[in-house]
A and B are shown apart, each in its own frame.
Chain A
Amino acid sequence: MSQFSCLIQERSPAHERSGDLERRLVDHHAAHYPGESASVAFRPVPAGAMFTEGRQSTSSIITVSVEHETTFDDRERYMRGVCDLWTEITGCTDHEIVVALTETTPSTEE
């Protein structure tokens, strides 16, 4: 199963709307890879722990592992979709989102 792991700031819009984000991420993955499910985990970071450009960060870092090989265009479309839903739900800018995709081998476990 593909997995999203989301590093978010405590008490941020992303934290407050993590339920909506989870639903939309799962839907986005299923739309991109029909019939596939995904799991989503959030890791809220307290104030004073994460910094961007040396200052308190407002960024979210979303890593996603997909059980597929991807082309550049495929990855760009997938990551663009994550950015779009994230900005729509949280009201943040593209500059407050990092999306990192990794390719994994499909699990053979039952």
Chain B
Amino acid sequence: MPFYHATIRPGLLPPTAREGFANDVVDVHCGVTGAPPSFVHVLVTEDTDGALPAGSNAVVAGTIRAGRTDDQKAEIAERLSAALAGRGGVQADTVSTTTRDVQASYTMEGGEVLPEPGSPEEERWKALGTAVQS
């Protein structure tokens, strides 16, 4: 957690660009929230079912811990849409990003129940995530 799922128009992103976008997500999410990078998961799939809305090149659906401010969520959405559009060479307004809040205590990762953002337990959890990186 967080988990971001990008559904893209077939052919929009070659493999190297997908990895680049995954790094964009790490930079944006962690930059905005301060969360450890080691917990950021990104899935990129092509829309083979024609599920994307007309005129859309991609949609990004993020599942994040509840507790982020509306401004933080808006910044994440705007920057991720721009990043993916940039990687794909398309207009930013053809990519949309939304986030969905989930309560931290309903997720376990690294063998521990996730702490609420801003809680005293979060600092120890961040240190755990940093240790995983090294």
Interface residues of A, Cβ cutoff 8 Å to B: 7, 45, 48-57, 59, 61, 72, 75-76, 79-80, 82-83, 94-95, 97-102
Q: In the complex, what's the smallest C-beta–C-beta distance from B69 to chain A, in angstroms? A: 22
Q: In whole angstroms, what is the CA distance A82 to B39 when docked?
A: 18
Residue B133, interface by CB 8 Å: yes
B108 near A79 (CB under 8 angstroms)? yes
Contact code string B91-134 (vs A, CB < 8 Å = 1, else 0):
00000000000100111111111000000000000000000110
8 Å CB contact of A98 from B18, B22, B109:
B109
Select from chain A the residue with minimum beta-carbon distance to B36: A53
Interface of B is mostly: mixed
Interface residues of B, Cβ cutoff 8 Å to A: 1, 3, 15, 18-19, 22-23, 25-26, 37-45, 63, 102, 105-113, 132-133
A54 near B23 (CB under 8 angstroms)? yes
Q: Enumerate chain B residues within 8 angstroms of A54, measured Cβ to Cβ.
A: 19, 22-23, 25-26, 37, 40, 42
A61 near B26 (CB under 8 angstroms)? no
A99 near B110 (CB under 8 angstroms)? no
Given pairs A51-B22, A54-B25, A100-B108, 7 additional interface contacts (CB within 8 A) = A52-B40, A54-B22, A75-B106, A83-B108, A83-B111, A100-B102, A102-B106
